[in-house]
Amino acid sequence: MTKDYTILIQSRPVLSEVIENLQLGFDYETLLGKLTVSNPSDSRILELSVTDKDPYLAKRIVDEVASVSANYIGEKMEVTTPNIIAEGQIPYKRTAPSMSRHVMIGAILGILLGCAITIVEELLNDAIVTEEDVEQYLGLYTLAVLPDKEQAKNFFQKIVDALT
């Protein structure tokens, strides 16, 4: 029966009545996306939860869904109206979105994007930098080469060390 109840709870008539009763500013599909109906450990008990930015609105919605669906199930299934065991609870801590998870995903994506940009930039770099590049691409021989700043610094440091 719980599978039947789950389908009836998520039905358009039930959720449309909830939207009308609470004067919500969204449609059936939006409310259906916010609603989760679960059956913990295949018992006869259904657990309803609503995810929304406003925890107080989520509680009102879940309470209204429970009330409306209990009456609807009683009418349509011609059974005794299901009992509501507990009202919705307002969460005391944020359940979604997880800020640390989003930061971690952003950091990983940023590192991957930086690596991809560096690799593409290196592959597309066709600048002539070394004397081997001059010989390979231009077919010319070099007569002189200006030393790199670090090479010159090391060279002069060696001379100073040798003189002292």
Residue 97 and residue 86: Cα distance in Å, rounded? 26
Find the mean pLDDT for residues 72-94.
79
Q: How would residue 45 be classed by pLDDT, with cut points 50, 70 and 90?
A: confident
User: What's the average model confidence in pLDDT over 143-152?
Assistant: 79
